[in-house]
């Protein structure tokens, strides 16, 4: 089994970290040079910052190299950063759809409200996680402090799965409807296809993460790894947009 401080894990994180951060910076810079920066770029930049916070501890040292107190701080920061980063990425995807829709179309309003609902879903998922881990701190005294959310409160994992599916279905359905009912340029139609594909890919990774979140205790060390994979998949999917014109 791959551990959090294994060489294979460190190498994979460094590779994905480098690719994701460079591609995100390139996206922001290209959009800035072309004077095409918009809200979706701001949200993807926030996603990048949160992913850096998730990866910071890997470069500081593995769980076995940190003090118990530092490991607890590490878990809290990674758990919060992961949850917020995933929803920031979804909001960025939704805003990418919004900017493709003409202002007077009803579908644009629907997409804008969908982006707002994503932020509410983020809060609805994050608050129970914080409450569950803060109310029972027995996990502070385990060899590798980690709050097994899916085992302590299965409803959290179920809620995360439901909100993930609702958000991902929304990100799939809206581009399909836009393709079928709005006359768009060739570049914008290609952009929608990319958004559609990115939504399917990230949805699959999200399901895998939640499955491990709901799994048995001996699989729980894999949860942080699937979290990192999910965030980087979102980030790399968002960065493919630099190859298309808005």
Which residue range(s) make up the domain with 35?
7-243
Q: Is residue 1 part of a domain?
A: no
Q: Is residue 122 part of a domain?
A: yes
Give per-residue pLDDT as tens, 127-149: 999 999 999 888 898 887 888 77
Q: Is residue 69 part of a domain?
A: yes
Q: Total domain count for the chain?
A: 1
Q: Using CA atoms, how far apart are residues 222 and 127, in angstroms rounded to an integer?
A: 23
What is the pLDDT confidence band of residue 226, given thresholds at 50, 70 and 90?
low
Tell me what the pLDDT averaged over the chain comes to: 78
Taking the mean position of all CA atoms in its chain, how far away is CA 143?
28
pLDDT for the residue 89 = 87
Looking at the whole model, is its pTM more than 0.75? Answer: yes
CB atoms inside a 10 Å sphere around CB 103: 7
Residue 89: name the closest of 20, 15, 14, 146 by CA: 20
Q: Is residue 2 part of a domain?
A: no
> Which sign, positive or negative, has the C-alpha torsion 2, 148, 53, 230?
positive
Q: What is the dihedral of CA 207, 213, 215, 221, to 10 degrees?
A: 120
Inter-residue contact 178 to 135 (CB < 8 Å): no
For 33-63, letters b (16+ CB in 10 Å) and e give eeeebeebbebbbbbbebbebbbebbeeebb
Inter-residue contact 92 to 202 (CB < 8 Å): no
Residue 212: name the closest of 202, 203, 199, 225 by CA: 225
Tell me the two tokens of residue 4.
């959090």
Q: Using CA atoms, how far apart are residues 117 and 210, in angstroms rounded to an integer?
A: 20
What is the pLDDT confidence band of residue 91, given thresholds at 50, 70 and 90?
very high
Question: Which CATH number do you get for residue 238?
Answer: 1.20.1070
Q: Is residue 99 part of a domain?
A: yes
Q: Is residue 237 part of a domain?
A: yes
Q: Is residue 107 part of a domain?
A: yes
pLDDT for the residue 1 = 42
Q: Is residue 188 part of a domain?
A: yes
């Amino acid at each position: 089994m791959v551990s959090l401080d294994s060489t294979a894990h460190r190498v994979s994180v460094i590779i994905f970290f480098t690719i994701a951060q460079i591609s995100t910076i390139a996206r922001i810079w290209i959009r800035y040079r072309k004077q095409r920066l918009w809200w979706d770029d701001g949200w993807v930049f926030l996603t990048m910052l949160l992913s850096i916070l998730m990866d910071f501890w890997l470069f500081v040292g593995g769980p076995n190299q940190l003090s118990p107190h530092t490991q607890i701080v590490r878990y809290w920061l990674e758990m919060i950063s992961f949850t917020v980063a995933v929803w920031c990425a979804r909001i960025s995807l939704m805003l990418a759809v919004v900017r493709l829709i003409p202002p007077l179309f009803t579908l644009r309003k629907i997409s804008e409200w969908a982006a707002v609902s994503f932020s509410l879903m983020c809060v609805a998922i994050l608050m129970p996680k914080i409450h569950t881990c803060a109310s029972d701190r027995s996990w502070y005294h385990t060899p590798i402090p980690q709050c097994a959310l899916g085992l302590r409160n299965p409803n959290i994992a179920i809620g995360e799965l439901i909100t993930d599916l609702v958000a991902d279905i929304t990100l799939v359905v809206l581009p399909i409807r836009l393709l079928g009912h709005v006359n768009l340029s060739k570049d914008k139609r290609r952009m929608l296809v990319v958004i559609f594909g990115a939504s399917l890919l990230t949805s699959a990774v999200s399901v895998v993460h939640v499955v491990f979140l709901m799994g048995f205790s001996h699989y729980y060390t894999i949860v942080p790894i699937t979290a990192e994979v999910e965030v980087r998949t979102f980030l790399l999917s968002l960065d493919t947009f630099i190859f298309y014109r808005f």
